[in-house]
Amino acid sequence: MKHRIVVLGAGYAGANAVGRLAKRLHPADTEIVLVNADPEFVERVRMHQLATGQDLAPRALSDVFAGTGVQVRLARVTAVDVDRKSVGVVDADGTGEIAYDTLVYALGSTAADCGVPGVAEHAHHLASKQAALRLRSRLADLAPGGTVLVVGGGLTGIEAATEIADARPDLEVALAARGRFGDWLSKKAQTHLRATFDRLGITVHENTDIAAVAQNGAVTTDDQAIPAQVTVWTAGFAVHPIAAATTLEVSETGRVVVDDTMRSVSHPDVYAVGDAAFASGASGAPLRMSCASGVPTAYLAADAITARLTGRAIPPNKIGYTGQCISLGRRDAIVQWVTPDDQAKSSAFTGRTAARLKELVCRGAAWSISHPTLMIPSRRRRTVPAGQPVATTV
């Protein structure tokens, strides 16, 4: 019987894992099933663009993986039973189960309300295509002079605030940051960031904690009101609760604890990649939730699975960062160079040069999804018991 690999989620991590597995494992020996609720690959790093009225090129998963042997199952994952090695799903035909031999858990993350009252009821977020489209509709309804508050001073918050201000200069945009605004960046990058916010007319509330969100804005922990007709919540991400409901070992935040090959430390038939994994890079430092972490963890997991199924050597964990790309509207950006453990260096690109580089990075990430079998050598490997000769075909 074929070894069945089931991959849950088709974000940057899940889709890249599937493409790499399909390229490296022989279809005579393995069956690869991709489970995803949305029929299209979603460029999550562009959700701020979608929210401001820009249209993104559709990438149907059935087209992306046509001819690869990958089975695309359009379904929503409802549960995982790691003891029975099955996945519960709901699709157009109702409920069902999918059995697996190896599971790749890549369900990603969603917006976290951080326990702040009113976020779920009154705030928008950018963690999904549906959420971005809802925000898009709300922003389109705002008349000139309308007010928007972005809560969160990280990469997502910065990109959201600048994209909105750039696309809608007739709106009053503000951003609330818990600490000092942009304080993790180099001096050069911080200077450019603040200059850009000044140019776009974005008000920055530094060292500001939000205690509650209401229909007409937010209230800080020191009881100050920040009025806004639209509040965009970018203060953090949380993983889906499915993994925590299993017997998998998970972190305090519900992420699957994995070893240096992205393999679950409690269940060797399960791998986790992307935001869903509590993983470390080559330096031993935990990886942050990001596309920059998702793609390399997907590659490493796929290579480790391939190695174990074909009796090859297990690849080492060499994951490290090189830069943080931050768009500031369509014609401006910051590319902050960082150490492998994600600490800012003194050097950074800014302005149009950085914007072009950022766009190349985004296009490259989407291209790797759209061309899953062109990113690595074409040789496929036959699955054999460990220690036996491995036959390969091209």
Residue whose C-alpha is closest to residue 200's, from 179, 171, 228, 180: 171
- As given in the structure block, the two tokens for residue 272 are 């986790």
Alpha-carbon span 198 to 195, nearest angstrom? 5
Tell me the pLDDT of the chain (394 aa) as tens digits. Answer: 899 999 999 999 999 999 999 999 999 999 999 999 999 999 999 999 999 999 999 999 999 999 999 999 999 999 999 999 999 999 999 999 999 999 999 999 999 999 999 999 999 999 999 999 999 999 999 999 999 999 999 999 999 999 999 999 999 999 999 999 999 999 999 999 999 999 999 999 999 999 999 999 999 999 999 999 999 999 989 999 999 999 999 999 999 999 999 999 999 999 999 999 999 999 999 999 999 999 999 999 999 999 999 999 999 999 999 999 999 999 999 999 999 999 999 999 999 999 999 999 999 888 888 777 665 554 566 665 433 433 332 2
Alpha-carbon span 347 to 249, nearest angstrom? 39
- As given in the structure block, the two tokens for residue 322 are 């090189």
Alpha-carbon span 136 to 138, nearest angstrom? 5
Phi, psi dihedral angles at 38 (to 5 degrees): -95, 135
Residue whose C-alpha is closest to residue 6's, from 24, 18, 23: 18
Which CATH topology does 3-108+240-320+375-393 take? FAD/NAD(P)-binding domain (3.50.50)
Residue whose C-alpha is closest to residue 306's, from 28, 5, 67: 5
Please determine whether the domains at 3-108+240-320+375-393 and 111-233 fall in the same fold group of CATH.
yes
Give the start-to-end residue ranges of the domains of the chain: 3-108+240-320+375-393, 111-233
Beta-strand pair 277-278/109-111: unpaired
Report how far apart, in Å, the C-alpha atoms of 133 and of each of 20, 74, 170, 312 are.
31, 21, 20, 45
Beta bridge partners of 280: 286
Q: Which pLDDT score, from 0 to 100, does residue 228 have?
A: 98
Number of H helices, E strands in the chain: 9, 25
Residue whose C-alpha is closest to residue 48's, from 376, 341, 326, 306: 326
344: three-class secondary structure by DSSP: strand
Question: CATH second-level architecture of 111-233?
Answer: 3-Layer(bba) Sandwich (3.50)
